[in-house]
Amino acid sequence: MSNTTKAATPQRYTKPNLPKPDRSPHLPAGLSTDPLLRDGAFISPVSGSSGDNQQRSSPSANGTPESSRSRPRVSETSWLPPGWVVEDRVRSSGATAGTRDKYYYDPVSRRRFRSKREVQYFLETGSVKKQKRAENSDANANSFLKSAEGSSTQKSKTPKKEARVASHLDFNFSNVPDSVEWILADANKGTWTPFVAGKKPPDSERQIWDVTFTYLAARTVEYTAKGKHPNGTTEEVKKIVNVLNEAQIPSEDVVEVVVSPPYVFLPVAKSLLRSDIKVAAQNCWVRKGGAFTGEISAEMLVNLDIPWVVLGHSERRALLNESNEFVGDKVEYALSQGLKVIACIGETLEQRESGSTMAVVAAQTKAIADKIKSWDNVVLAYEPVWAIGTGKVASPAQAQEVHAELRKWLAENVSAEVAQTTRIIYGGSVNGGNCKELAGQADVDGFLVGGASLKPEFIDIIKSATVKKSA
Ligand SMILES: O=C[C@H](O)COP(=O)(O)O
């Protein structure tokens, strides 16, 4: 953010009521409530044309906190979004023994960050800053941390002039003021300056206030668009249903459209939607219903005449500790009750960068294959975690490569027929602009769409199912 020429109209940005997902990364599987209500889904019916790295989602799954010999302290910090974890690790040897290092873990991408500055950049841009000189960066970050948090156990060489007394204007993510005025500083650049209680926060806090504005604003949009916002209404669902009902979409022999609103909107969506568009739940309980307060069983969905259910979404795997085996059990039980299943699999960025993409998705698929007898009612949704909600879509070649490998895996481990007929759909930042090229890939049989599913471009995405038909 640059100059603070107070512009025309002061605009007030009020703290949104952010949903409160369970902050514990260590919940036992199956004992969680269901805060992760998510978006829509679209499936093309184009037939097949042609070691568990995500379980129990503590950061230890990637050889991080729990596997550390120094027994680091893992905690959460107020300025971080819900679900993020901070590891406080003490160096045990060398000249710097005794020095504390902080590591920050994003529960969804599972990325590890070395500094608050890196986290801020990631929250703001969705990408990771490449730093030429990591040491300098850490030093700067430590300096920033000291300034922002008012404490640091690490011996710091931070210039004294940066030390200051914390004030009520200091940033705290979990206690964002109810009223923050954002003054448009530069309309051309779209830059804003925050005013808390009528005062500008200290310069050292400006950056993180800026980041937070971007982050909260984005989250608000996302939650509204996907029906996850606490203030989401039946009226909003009805509007979306109306758009779909009035859309000209290809016939059912070309494309199968399934929308997946949050549980509470399933009945209204189902009752209002045209008959050629089906509905899916976003999750269901792992086995027969019983005393599992807050859970929705497969039997309940069947009773409501809901034909589809999405299982194993990466957010549930990461945030609610759903292991491959747990997802496999869910798929098995849902199928046994007559539901059709969209089973999600996908690797994190770290796993992709380490070259283990296929090992990860094969393990996830195997956990399902081990449990089920028939794949007739299963659609496999490949969703690279790093592409979900980030705007970073997998390239057509990347998607095709994994889809083709998955089909090969099915051929070698299940049967040639299952490999041929099982639909493998892609999810992760699909939109009206990229859908056609993705849909043109030989082994991409459709899409699982999030953010774009509640925008008019969803109709274009649905229509992209014709790409292969007309090829
Ligand atoms: O549930 C939907 C998928 O996670 C994809 O979401 P996205 O299209 O917003 O990236």
ipTM (interface predicted TM):
0.98
Residue nearest to atom 1 of ligand 1 (CA): 450
Quote the ligand 1 centre to 219 CA distance (angstroms). 14
Dist. CA 369–CA 366, nearest whole Å: 5
> Looking at the DSSP assignment, which residues form a beta bridge with residue 379?
342
Quote the ligand 1 centre to 39 CA distance (angstroms). 7
Q: Which atom of ligand 1 approaches the CA of 453 most closely?
A: 8
Q: What is the pLDDT of residue 412?
A: 98
Ligand 1, pocket-test mutation among 228, 425, 430, most atoms within 8 A of CB:
430
Q: Is 312 in the pocket of ligand 1 (CB under 6 A)?
A: no
- Count of beta carbons in the 10 Å neighbourhood of residue 122: 18
Q: Are 382 and 399 in contact (CB under 8 A)?
A: yes
Q: Is 59 in the pocket of ligand 1 (CB under 6 A)?
A: no
Q: What is the pLDDT of residue 194?
A: 67
Q: What is the pLDDT of residue 247?
A: 94
Ordered per-residue pLDDT tens for the chain, 471 residues: 333 333 333 333 333 333 333 323 333 333 332 222 233 333 433 333 333 333 322 333 333 333 333 445 656 666 787 677 788 888 888 888 888 888 888 776 667 888 888 888 787 766 777 655 444 434 333 322 233 333 333 444 444 444 455 555 666 555 555 555 656 565 444 455 666 666 777 666 666 655 554 444 433 333 333 333 333 588 888 988 999 999 999 999 899 999 999 999 999 999 999 999 999 999 999 999 889 999 999 999 999 999 999 999 999 999 999 999 999 999 999 999 999 999 999 999 999 999 999 999 999 999 999 999 999 999 999 999 999 988 889 999 999 999 999 999 999 999 999 999 999 999 999 999 999 999 999 999 999 999 898 888 999 999 999 997 665
Give all strands (DSSP E) within 45-109, no chain letters.
Answer: 73-75, 85-90, 100-105
Q: Which atom of ligand 1 approaches the CA of 388 most closely?
A: 10
Tokens of 399: 């998607």
Q: What is the pLDDT of residue 79?
A: 76
Q: Is the four-CA dihedral 345, 346, 351, 357 of positive or negative sign? A: positive
71: left (phi > 0), else alpha (psi -120 to 50), else beta? Answer: left
Q: Mind telling me the catalytic residues?
A: 313, 383
Residue nearest to atom 7 of ligand 1 (CA): 450
Q: Is the four-CA dihedral 417, 420, 425, 426 of positive or negative sign? A: positive
Ligand 1, pocket-test mutation among 349, 429, 457, most atoms within 8 A of CB:
429
DSSP H or E stretch at residue 411: helix 396-413
SS3 state at 252: coil
Q: Is 383 in the pocket of ligand 1 (CB under 6 A)?
A: yes
pLDDT per residue as tens digits for the range 145-159: 233 333 333 444 444
Q: What is the pLDDT of residue 391?
A: 84
Quote the ligand 1 centre to 183 CA distance (angstroms). 32
Q: Is 362 in the pocket of ligand 1 (CB under 6 A)?
A: no
Q: How far apart are the first and last CA of the chain?
A: 48
CA dihedral 113, 115, 117, 119 (to 10 degrees): 30
> Looking at the DSSP assignment, which residues form a beta bridge with residue 11?
182
Quote the ligand 1 centre to 43 CA distance (angstroms). 13
Residue nearest to atom 8 of ligand 1 (CA): 450
Kind of pairing between the strands at 10-14 and 179-186: antiparallel
Q: Is 448 in the pocket of ligand 1 (CB under 6 A)?
A: yes
Amino acid in the structure at residue 332: E
Full-model pTM:
0.58
Residue nearest to atom 6 of ligand 1 (CA): 450
Which residue has 């005062």 as its token pair? 199
Dist. CA 403–CA 286, nearest whole Å: 27
HEC states along 268-315? HHHHHCCCCEEEEECCCCCCCCCCCCCCCCHHHHHHCCCCEEEECCHH
Q: Is 228 in the pocket of ligand 1 (CB under 6 A)?
A: no
Quote the ligand 1 centre to 343 CA distance (angstroms). 14
Quote the ligand 1 centre to 330 CA distance (angstroms). 21
Q: Is 384 in the pocket of ligand 1 (CB under 6 A)?
A: no
Dist. CA 40–CA 452, nearest whole Å: 9
Q: Are 329 and 286 in contact (CB under 8 A)?
A: yes
Nearest to 149 by CA among 99, 115, 181, 111: 115
Q: Is 39 in the pocket of ligand 1 (CB under 6 A)?
A: yes
Q: What is the pLDDT of residue 407?
A: 98
Ligand 1, pocket-test mutation among 282, 283, 448, most atoms within 8 A of CB:
448
Quote the ligand 1 centre to 28 CA distance (angstroms). 25
Q: Is 34 in the pocket of ligand 1 (CB under 6 A)?
A: no
